Amino acid sequence: MISLARPARLTPGARVAVVAPSGPVPEDRLEAGLDILRGWDLDPVVMPHVLDTHREFGYLAGADADRARDLERAWCDASVAAVFCARGGYGVQRMVDLVDWAAMRAATRTAGPKVFLGYSDVTSLHEAFATRLGTVTLHGPMTAAADFLKNAHAQEHLRTTLFTPEAAQVITARGRAKALVGGRARGVTLGGCVSLLAAELGTTGARASARGGLLCLEDIGEEAYRLDRSLTQLLRAGLLEGVTGIALGSWEQCGPHDELRALFADRLGGLGVPMVEEFGFGHCDGALTVPFGVPGQLDADAGTLTLDVPALA
């Protein structure tokens, strides 16, 4: 694990492209999210296929190729400073290999990296941006996601990260954070949904190792046995060998917390690294924005992640 290239922070008037790489986007929620961005003095532009729905599969936001083209066009547009995902759901794995990554690398070399924001199904794109573009990404609230629209804390932490990232350099867990394994660990942040990280194994451009990484994990709607399966797959594949620390986020609709705590101790405790639960990122109210690809220190006892440098330059 090495630190990745940091995009520039946003400034008032910055143009922000909104894409839908996964599930279909409710128009009313999209408009509400755009209004929030405009209130931040950003200039959001919606890519052509954001409001599409796949002709056969209603769980997809349009055709795979169209979703891939929207992402490419947004990233390669020199006037765009950031690319925000509208929502998660499912669909990134269907389109990620249709993206012209060579064109996106060329655009990155020419103009530098842009801010890329999303979470949930977007985990697969966080991984792709890390391995194929070498750029820092933001795991945080999405433009048309209900938890973003309704929660001022999620909005404010994202806004701070985007505009004054040095003020968000110490990320403090929200709520009832508790060390499952105490101690401090240094490394480079990475992670996302457990189920998506497991699904990435063996795919084109997949990360070969998370050695030296501070692993941030969360998920939604995965029962304990399915989380067990995904974690076991990551362990068996050797991806977690050398991970230096673990922060556990939200586990919405994943079952009783005591059962999940026992599962994490069983599957991850053997790594012998500091591990903190209920950190407050992912599918939860007031979700924190966590950058991936930035070096820092996790203090499991204090419930803090302190970045060596701001997430954005």
DSSP string, 123-142: HHHHHHIIIII-B-EEE---
| pLDDT tens digits, 85-104 | 999 999 999 999 999 999 99
Count, in order, helices (H) and strands (E) of the chain.
10, 14
CA distances from 119 to 102, 143, 218 (A): 24, 11, 10
Give the active site residue among 127, 218, 222, 278: 218
Give the active site residue among 22, 49, 54, 120: 120
Pairing of strands 213-220, 184-193: parallel
Instruction: Tell me which amino acid residue 116 is.
Output: F
Instruction: Tell me which amino acid residue 115 is.
Output: V
In which region does residue 101 sit, left (phi positive, over 0), alpha (psi from -120 to 50) or beta (all else)?
Answer: alpha
pTM for the model: 0.96
So what's the pLDDT on residue 299?
98
**Euclidean distance between CA atoms 34 and 278, whole angstroms:** 29
Per-residue pLDDT of the chain (313 residues; tens, 9 = 90+): 888 999 999 999 999 999 999 999 999 999 999 999 999 999 999 999 999 999 999 999 999 999 999 999 999 999 999 999 999 999 999 999 999 999 999 999 999 999 999 999 999 999 999 999 999 999 999 999 988 999 999 999 999 999 999 999 999 998 789 999 999 999 999 999 999 999 999 998 899 899 999 999 999 999 999 999 999 999 999 999 999 999 999 999 999 999 999 999 999 999 999 999 999 999 999 999 999 999 999 999 999 999 999 999 9
**Catalytic status, residue 218:** yes
**Those residues with Cβ within 8 angstroms of residue 10's Cβ, 6 or more apart along the chain or in another chain:** 16, 42, 81, 82, 115, 162, 163, 312
C-alpha count within 13 angstroms, C-beta hemisphere, residue 66: 17
So what's the pLDDT on residue 216?
98
Three-state secondary structure call for residue 231: helix
**Catalytic status, residue 56:** no
